[in-house]
Structure 1
Amino acid sequence: MNIANRLLLAALCLLPTLVCAAPAGDAEAGRRAFQACASCHAVGPRAHSGFGPQLNGLIGRRAGSLKDYRYSEAMTRSGIVWDERTLAAFIKGPSDVVPGTRMRFWGIGDERRIADLIAYLRGFSLEGGAVERK
């Protein structure tokens, strides 16, 4: 086995640890962190869009797709389908991900807090009911 093959094998063996290196979110900490978002966004069975869109069923939803909120053209044309990666990037820097977004928020630099928020948001179905946590 030559050196290139050995390096490749070593890299493949380390890959699972790199995937697991991203912080796992704490939904309870995310609930507390969401209080800062709640002035514009809502979640849960009674959530409705207001100053910002409601965030029920966000993971897997196409950006700018709720009928009860008037999104920026940039958001509706972004083509984003929210997953944990795109949502984390958006929370970190909204205008970096969707230039022209109307979201008036500078972003969060703390990856742990972002992971916590995503863990919390993942817990709501589109109708606002609880989703079984994985």
Structure 2
Amino acid sequence: MPLTDPQDIAALLRETRTIALVGISDRPDRPSYGVMRVLQQHGYRVLPVNPQIAGEHVHGEFVWGRLSDIGVPIDMVDIFRRPGAAGEAVDDAIAAGARSVWMQLGVVNDAAAARAEAAGLKVVMDRCPAIEIPRLGIAPIIAD
């Protein structure tokens, strides 16, 4: 069952440091572009993933083609994909050893969520961390 309790979501956001953002856009008018910036401003390291713009940079970070290319531990995979394509991103998150998956507003895929949970990942669905962070009063991350 995806996390819905505000305390559970807040705890997840507080324990997360590195976020892979699947479906990043290099277009400033796209939601993923703005959400990445908000997450960075809050202190998260955000690693953008999009095979169509791999090798470019968004908000100062190298854009990866696939999650499997990243090669560093990933706490959360934030998914900006259509609900039908979210399953592949969830499977990639499981294979990459991520600790959680976050499906953005409008992204609901119950089968993918069940696979993630069965693999031990925490799941948030149909929410946006850039909205939840201020709503829940999550303090910015201070470098360890």
Query: What's the TM-score once normalised by structure 2's chain length?
Result: 0.33
Greater C-alpha Rg: 1
Task: Flag the structure with higher strand content.
Answer: 2
TM-score for both structures, normalised by structure 1: 0.35
